[in-house]
Chains A and B, each alone.
Chain A
């Protein structure tokens, strides 16, 4: 039985996203962004993507909050008051059009949990049947990430490492 429990979760996501934009000072915006990514991870967990939910909870809600706070350490506290320009006409036209286009494209997506959708007939059965014999890893997602696509994952790790070094160089205390 599929219950559409994701609707209240997505409502909470919408409320936090709107609040993070509309709230006055940056500190509250950072806190609201943390709760935003946590509600998003609850939605992922409800849809069955447990690994994505784990990454969203750890990186989005935990690490991003700390990184935003480190950025706030480096800024002037007098800059925390934002002044927003009024909405231009192009914004009012383009963004509803973009939303309409996305909704129109979403009507072509396969039905949720459809066993005949292209994503679940192309290569997923091969992974599900042979990944344990090939890699001896009980978790299929781990074997795809770390074995079948290990070069991809390695280069991603290099990118994240370089970003971490850049953050450490930018945010270090002035030791000079």
Chain B
């Protein structure tokens, strides 16, 4: 079971790398914002899988929930910024 979870973790890290390519390379700002949102969803899943791996899901669920809430605030701030300043 641990080996299986470890394979899932490695696979999620590879997926994070794919999203990261879009954030680094993205021609427009919207590509970067979408890539960042994808990274955050993958990373929430990765934190919970990590919690199952360490058999302490209750602590890791707290982190992932807090991060999900604050990621929403960050995405709203980015949207507000783009609305106010215009798309570069």
- Interface positions of A (Cβ within 8 A of B): 1, 3, 5, 8-9, 12, 15-16, 19, 23, 25, 27-28, 31-32, 34-35, 38-39, 41-42, 45-46, 48, 50, 53-54, 57-58, 61-63, 65-66, 69-70, 72-73, 77, 80
In the complex, whether B52 has a CB less than 8 A from a CB of chain A is no
Query: Once the chains bind, are B24 and A27 in contact (CB under 8 Å)?
Result: no
Contacts from B to A (Cβ < 8 Å): 2, 6, 9-10, 13, 16-17, 20, 23-24, 26, 29, 32-33, 36, 39-40, 43, 46-47, 50, 54, 56, 59-60, 62-63, 66-67, 69-71, 73-74, 77-78, 80-81, 84-86, 88
6 extra interchain contacts, Cβ-Cβ under 8 A, other than A54-B63, A65-B74?
Answer: A5-B13, A12-B13, A28-B32, A31-B36, A38-B39, A58-B70
Q: How far is the CA of A47 from the CA of B63 in the complex (A)?
A: 14
Decide: A62 near B23, CB < 8 A? Known: A12-B17, A38-B43: no
- Tell me whether A38 and B67 are in contact (CB under 8 A): yes
* B77 contacts A66, C-beta separation under 8 Å: yes
| A73→B81 contact, CB < 8 A | yes
Q: Which residues of B contact A9 (CB under 8 A)?
A: 13
A77-B85 contact given A31-B23, A35-B20, CB 8 Å threshold? yes
Asked if B77 and A28 sit within 8 Å, CB to CB, the answer is: no
Instruction: Tell whether, in the assembled complex, residue B66 and residue A54 are in contact, meaning their CB atoms are under 8 Å apart.
Output: yes
Instruction: Report 22 cross-chain contacts, Cβ distance below 8 Å, ordered by A residue.
Output: A12-B17, A19-B23, A27-B29, A32-B24, A35-B39, A38-B43, A39-B16, A42-B46, A45-B47, A57-B63, A58-B67, A61-B67, A61-B71, A62-B67, A62-B69, A62-B73, A63-B70, A65-B77, A69-B77, A69-B81, A72-B85, A80-B88
Decide if the interface of chain A is mainly helix, strand, loop or mixed.
helix
* In the bound complex, CA of A41 to CA of B50 (Å): 12
Complex interface: chain B residues within 8 A of A66 (CB): 73-74, 77
Contact between A8 and B13 (Cβ–Cβ < 8 Å)?
A: yes
